[in-house]
């Protein structure tokens, strides 16, 4: 069964808009875990506009589900991951001022860098996933870097899905098949939602984990957080029924 990791950055963004501790990000993560999520994802950025380093440290202490830290592996981010030792780190090539993730790694051009940083994280017992576009060569490149998994960047799938699901998912199926050939674990994330999640997993049922944040938190404004987590779990279970 594919696991659901909920990205809580947007909860932190609301908190930071007013200062103080409302909503309580750590309590929200514990509640999401209790509501049925398999993991919590955070993406600390250099400007601290949502998840902060102290949040990450506290989450590691209190969560019993998997913690996934994603971000560009440079400077303070690397230090934080090495200190906290999450279950998984997802390497994302974001610029410091990026609004959101917008592309995967070129794992061929950046092979030396990614190989070195992957080895460092492996020394701390951390599973490494590399964020890639749905291109088989980039998937194979991640394996050459020593990664344990790839996370397929699903923005293009979500954007093209309404016009033609089969065409939208086709590159992802090819990339996912390459991951399986390479012996890599397989994650997916970015703009997956209640509208497209079931179809994606029906076509790629060997997906190990999906990371969902923005759409899930938006849905929670209407449906409530507990109900929304359950709605996503139901879509994921439906693929196996």
pLDDT in tens, the chain (241 residues): 999 999 999 999 999 999 999 999 999 999 999 999 999 999 999 888 899 999 999 999 999 999 999 999 999 999 999 999 999 999 999 866 666 666 899 999 999 999 999 999 999 999 999 999 999 999 999 999 999 999 999 999 999 999 999 999 999 999 999 999 999 999 999 999 999 999 999 999 999 999 999 999 999 999 999 999 999 999 999 866 6
Q: Indicate if 190 belongs to the active site.
A: yes
The model's pTM is: 0.95
Contact yes or no for 59/10 (Cβ under 8 A) = no
CA 175 to chain centre: 17
Helices (H) and strands (E) in the chain — how many of each? 11, 8
- Residue that is written with structure tokens 């086709």 in the block: 170
Give me the catalytic one of 50, 151, 190, 209: 190
**Alpha helix ranges (H) inside the chain:** 9-18, 25-35, 53-62, 75-84, 111-123, 136-144, 155-160, 165-182, 197-203, 214-223, 225-238
Q: Indicate if 43 belongs to the active site.
A: yes
Q: Which CATH architecture has domain 3-238?
A: Alpha-Beta Barrel (3.20)
In whole angstroms, give the CA distance from residue 27 to residue 29: 5
Give me the catalytic one of 33, 43, 50, 235: 43
Give me the catalytic one of 33, 66, 70, 235: 70
């Amino acid at each position: 069964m594919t696991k659901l990791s909920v990205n809580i950055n947007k909860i932190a963004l609301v908190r930071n808009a007013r200062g103080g501790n409302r909503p309580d990000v750590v309590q929200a993560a514990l509640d999401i875990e209790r509501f049925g999520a398999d993991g919590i994802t955070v993406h600390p950025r250099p400007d601290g506009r949502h998840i902060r380093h102290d949040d990450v440290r506290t989450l590691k202490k209190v969560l019993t589900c998997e913690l996934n830290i994603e971000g560009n592996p440079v400077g303070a981010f690397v230090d934080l991951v090495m200190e906290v030792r999450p279950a998984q780190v997802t390497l994302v090539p974001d610029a410091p001022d990026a609004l959101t993730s917008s592309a995967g790694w070129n794992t061929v051009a950046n092979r030396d860098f990614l190989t070195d940083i992957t080895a460092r994280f492996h020394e701390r017992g951390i599973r490494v996933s590399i964020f890639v576009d749905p291109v088989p060569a980039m998937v194979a490149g991640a394996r050459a870097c020593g990664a344990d998994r790839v996370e397929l960047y699903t923005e293009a799938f979500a954007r093209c899905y309404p016009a033609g699901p089969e065409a939208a998912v086709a590159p992802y199926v090819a990339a996912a098949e390459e991951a399986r050939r390479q012996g890599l674990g397989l994650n997916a994330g970015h703009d997956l939602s209640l509208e497209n999640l079931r179809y994606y997993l029906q076509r790629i049922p060997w997906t190990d984990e999906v990371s969902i944040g923005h759409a899930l938190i938006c849905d929670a404004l209407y449906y409530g957080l507990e109900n929304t987590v359950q709605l996503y779990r139901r879509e994921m279970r439906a693929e196996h029924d």
